[in-house]
Structure 1
């Protein structure tokens, strides 16, 4: 029997599903804890459990389906999806990266929230760039470029390059890329390689995210291939892109930003396959995020403007998904801004205290001692653990490096014991955001342990954490909650309300294109919070007209309450907890390439190729050259993505201005080649 192994690595769990390659029926599924300090452990466990090589030894991991050992030789393909890229952007984590901007003024950082996204990462401004017609705007200042590269390289792990109008002529990006590689041997991400669309700051942001994610995706792919080798799986490894299609592992290493929304895209594919619904709102709740998409006539649209995650807008083609930092493991914390002392959830993910207690029982005695103290501290019931190897990265700031060395030496620690100043706390926060340390604190997973709807981990640790958080005071001197149970209910109500709000935002956006309408409308927020039900004078309800398909390990726990707030029906399909792994296993390969033709002057039709520009006197000749080039690039990308059987379709869009009297003026043409393909193991594209 020919089979395919699908994997889905999230912030909390790594899921596996083995399906029959002939009829796509599910044979066996498994779940294993994701091991952030060494991804290969969690990935390997999920694979071994699914294959029947090993059985879970505790309740933290499990399998379902047939219990017989499956033949390793029958696995013809391994397909990997992940939410790690999405989570990294939502949590503002990832490697330290330098962004090289060629031909841009410094105020470009104010556009598209580019400067906000870059944060403390270095930015290098270099003279150069091109005009909209592809001709040189200013010569590339290679001397300044080389000086900046040499001085910045010790501080970063990768470079991103974006040049003015690089999609019309990528020459300066290519030169800069070769300079950086030649003098640093570091990874380089070029904006023209990721998108053919105009919009410099947005392209720069996309290249920047791609560079930040290179190390993360490399670690995951290396971990997966290492485990495949140990198990004896000699087949191809494919990775799910944000549009739900598959690419080879090597392709994903070079363009990791295209795996933004990989996990959600795989879940959408899995949900459409598993649920007997043509129209619905799909909600996938993970540990870090909730991903919302809309199923229409059995299909999900691609985003016209590119993937949007956590407030950032990119140029990566992806399924149309609304992603928010609300998950089962979202950090519960107290905000002292407006409104005063509100309980806040996310966007940062934390290891639940109940899970920490199961893995590190010493935390229980630490929290018991904290509870004996007469004064509550903001650091109570908050722990930190290193995700680094034996040495801190060389590019860390001095305060961060000092804290990293302490973490490596001490291991899992109470934050109160390792950071006693604001400088130290700031260094810890930055280590967490850079993916070098893991926070553990109270989360919704702890709340459901206390209220009795989930009991797999250590309930005592959850209770102690809730008691410590509940006794903290707001800026009016009032305690946050009267009991651990009261705090837990506040936490779950917050998750339910915020989730319903984001679903409403998505529904309104789909109807009329407006963003965050529900989030910015007090009346809608009041209705979703159920406050109007307590009024004797005015009541109004929200009713979602489509059913909700809920996915994720905690969907059964949280989504009945969310569906109730929205007055709609709820569908939780079989295998909902591993929908991403199933969606990964049933994916196929799709690639495309677009070539633009402009008319810079009368009688000149300019084809903007990925290697430069070519001019023609006749439009037909230019179109023919663009078709040829687009086909070659699209089919090369499909082959690099892992396809062996391909079929290419050409599309042309010609824009003309009507001059009247039967005359028109050529403005622009875009020629697109779309290539569909399959691997030898999965011919049913």
Structure 2
């Protein structure tokens, strides 16, 4: 019997499943995600499935982990402080692809160097400028990102800077050419920044998960789900954590296909923090040709074509100011539901909410709490941020009791972004407790919190809602609306015929929204989805039937929808891909751009064969290290030519080498 353990760490819950012989789910369980140490939640969920199935942890032959940690961190703007070294670029390049926004207040330096399109050195690398910068900032960051001009054509300067940084600081370095072989230096540098920012938190997750599973008695190799749904070894994921963005969503697509056998469908996975939507076509998830997009960032990571929206069961509820009618919106930030934090500090939460209900005014701090995140790194804080964090200490507080001035709002925002504190507020999870759709946590706390929120005034001076139940229905209706919009955006983006307007505008267009309501006047307007939706996530059965009705679409809710990510974590394949290019810098010369440096040939065919030989060897070796067996290899060529004076001329080519196989199980 082959017994596989799949685990998924989400924003709110950690899921675990046991699958027998890759065919049958024999146990499934959930445990609250423990932010201060994710391994605690992993251990509890794993132990629960062992107990349910009545099997010993030592019987597990394969363990695999999918995680929304990286995705949620980027959505919420979290991550560790890093330094960026840009080689051969200028300040104008910083403004491209959101690079300046991504680096924010973290240190960066622009130094001379880089190469041209053909891989020739454009300028000498300024090692002295790098050394001076490292003297100032080397101790102030957790890691470094390096991006050089045309590094995919010649990796020399990035490799030299990596060597200098590691020699001087001993800290991890993310080189852009390790993460993508595509052109577009600022976008590669952005990907390297995000990778560097994630290294610490992904490393802590994987290493602690390995230790916790070993403590339980699991001695099978640990795999991690990549953003394209493939499996990689834990060791590989530690080097390139950016490849785990969309890991959880990608696993859910694999799990959806395995559970339903769906060939054509939209798959929508609602978690605590995000809603992730992807198209399943011909039984396979499409890969995004432009690179994974998460929140505001378009990366160069190869991943499932997924639209991720900051909308989930734990999305923060906001009052929309302006206008006579009261409106609310949800997300994109995740907060701890009041019903959940009340289970951790019931006396404080209940006493605070009761006092606020008896107040003669309504404050923006009402029904909001704050707590620290244990074990988070506290480097690079300003004096005001450090003072606020010290005031919070180790306890849960009413938010209004720790903010003494308006200036501390920005300090609190920064602490949240750094993952040092968590804020609790009203969420759809609280609304579902009030409506009797959920009974996992503290309903009474939710009811008081929603009564407080309902006391706010609209532009017409009226209360937002008259009861907690009415307020809860408004929140759930808004979740239905925003989920339907997210699905429409994905459908418009994937529509093969295409439209002139952006998918976001089309989904929100008045004609689309009127069409969903079946407008009948002088015009008849109809709109809806023309394919089924597979709804995944623990709260999908609660919220998604109404979404299907709204879109006029069949809503598939598979039996194990609540643990789809954990299922997808163990039913995938190990796949390693590497890409390199061939150019023609001059007539009769064909250059293979390899990781160790360019090599020249007298024919395009010889150059491409050399690239294929190297890529397949590297991919196969990495697949073997990753634990694959029964490995199959294949290559793909994308050759670009032009017709000049009646003859076909080679311009350049991208070559992809791929090795894939099933994970090797423990004997």
Q: Given the two structures, how large is their TM-score scaled by the length of structure 2?
A: 0.95
Aligned partner of residue 54 in structure 2, secondary structure: coil
1:379 maps to which residue?
Answer: 365
SS in 2 for 1:637: helix
Q: Match of 2:284, SS?
A: coil
Correspondence 1:41 to 2:27: no
CA positional deviation for 1:342: 4.1
Which residue of 1 is the match for residue 28 of structure 2?
29
* Corresponding residue number in structure 2 for 1:63: none
| 2:661 corresponds to | 677
- Indicate conservation of the 8 Å contact 1:266/1:584, yes or no: yes
1:612 matched to 2:597: yes
Structure 2 partner of 1:114: 99
Tell whether the 8 Å contact from 1:12 to 1:287 is kept in structure 2 after alignment. yes
- Is 1:85 matched with 2:70? yes
1:670 to 1:394, Cα distance in 2 relative to 1, 3 A: closer
Residue of structure 2 equivalent to 1:267: 252
Separation in 1, partners of 2:78, 2:460: 33
Instruction: Give the equivalent residue in structure 2 for 1:166.
Output: 151
What does residue range 76-475 of structure 1 map to in structure 2 within 5 Å? 76-336=61-321, 342-361=327-346, 362-389=348-375, 393-409=378-394, 411-474=395-458
Return the alpha-carbon distance in structure 2 between the equivalents of residues 99 and 295 of structure 1: 37
Structure 2 residue 498 is the aligned partner of structure 1 residue 498: no
Note if 1:543 corresponds to 2:528.
Answer: yes
The reply to whether residue 508 of structure 1 matches residue 489 of structure 2 is no
Q: Which runs of 5 or more structure 1 residues have no equivalent in the other structure? A: 53-66
**1:228-250 deviations in Å (ceiling 9; x for gaps):** 12111111000000011111111
For residues 272-291 of structure 1, give each alpha carbon's deviation from its aligned partner in whole angstroms, at most 9, with x where no partner exists: 01014322111100000001
Residues 1:510 and 1:138: Cα distance change in structure 2 (over 3 Å):
same
Shift of residue 340 of structure 1?
A: 9.1
Aligned pair in 2 of structure 1 residues 210, 281: CA closer, same or farther (>3 Å)?
Answer: same
- How far, CA to CA, are the matches of 1:625 and 1:153 in structure 2? 39
Shift of 1:682: 8.3
Distance 1:538 1:398, change over 3 A: farther
Counterpart of 2:624? 639
Partner deviation per Cα, 1:313-341 (whole Å, 9 max, x = no partner)? 11111111111011011011224479997
Whether the 8 Å contact between 1:95 and 1:157 is mirrored in structure 2 is: yes
Aligned partner of residue 465 in structure 1, secondary structure: helix
- The DSSP-based 3-state class of the residue aligned with 1:673 is strand
Cα distance in 2 for residues equivalent to 1:28 and 1:435: 33
Q: Distance in 2 between matches of 1:551 and 1:399?
A: 42
Say if 1:378 and 1:472, in contact at 8 Å, map to a contact too: no
Counterpart position of 1:74:
59
Contact 1:654/1:668, CA 8 A, preserved across alignment: yes
Question: Does the 8 Å CA contact 2:139/2:169 hold for their aligned counterparts?
Answer: no
TM-score normalised according to structure 1 size: 0.93
Alpha-carbon distance in 2 for matches of 1:11, 1:491: 20
Q: 1:548 to 1:124 in 2, by over 3 A?
A: same
Instruction: Kindly state the Cα deviation for residue 154 of structure 1 after the two structures are TM-superposed.
Output: 3.3
d(CA) in 1 for partners of 2:261, 2:628 = 30
- Write the distance in 1 (CA, Å) between the matches of 2:328 and 2:271: 20
Alpha-carbon distance in 2 for matches of 1:681, 1:156: 39
Which moved further from structure 2: 184-193 or 471-480?
471-480
Distance 2:13 2:588 in 1: 60
CA contact (8 A) 2:253 2:568 kept: yes
Unaligned ranges ≥5, structure 2: none
After TM superposition, list the pairs within 5 Å mapping 1:481-630 onto structure 2: 481-511=465-495, 512-513=497-498, 514-528=502-516, 530=517, 540-630=525-615
CA deviation after TM superposition for structure 1 residue 266, in Å: 0.5
Shifted more, 487-496 versus 112-121: the winner is 112-121
Count residues with an aligned counterpart: 662
For 1:124, what is the secondary structure of its paired residue?
strand
1:550-586: CA deviation from partner (whole Å, max 9, x where unpaired): 0000000100111111011111011000011011011
Cα deviation for residue 680 of structure 1 reads: 2.2
Q: Distance in 2 between matches of 1:400 and 1:231?
A: 39
Distance 1:490 1:127, change over 3 A: same
Give the C-alpha shift of residue 40 in structure 1. Answer: 1.6
CA distance, structure 1, for counterparts of residue 32 and residue 225 of structure 2: 21
Alignment CA distance shift 1:618-1:181 (3 Å): same
Alpha-carbon contact 1:154-1:394 (below 8 Å) kept: no
Q: Distance in 2 between matches of 1:258 and 1:75?
A: 26
Query: SS of the counterpart of 1:516?
Result: helix
Distance in 2, Cα, partners of 1:442 & 1:617: 67
The 3 A distance-change label for structure 1 pair 338 and 421 is farther
> What's the offset of the Cα at 1:359?
2.2
Quote the offset at 1:477 in angstroms: 4.5
Once the two structures are overlaid, the 10-residue window that deviates more, 624-633 or 248-257, is: 624-633
Deviation at 1:85?
A: 0.9
Q: Secondary structure at the match of 2:439?
A: coil
Structure 1 counterpart of 2:2: 2
Give the drift of 1:653: 2.9
- How far does the alpha carbon of each residue in 1:153-198 deviate from its partner, in whole angstroms, 9 at most, with x for none? 3332111111111110111111111111111121111110000000
Return the alpha-carbon distance in structure 1 between the equivalents of residues 625 and 373 of structure 2.
Answer: 33
Secondary structure at the counterpart of residue 239 of structure 1:
strand
Q: Secondary structure at the match of 1:294?
A: strand
Question: Shift of the alpha carbon at 1:539?
Answer: 5.9
> 8 Å contact 2:514–2:525 — kept in the other structure?
no
Distance 1:95 1:446, change over 3 A: same
SS at match of 1:498: helix
Question: What SS does the aligned partner of 2:434 have?
Answer: helix
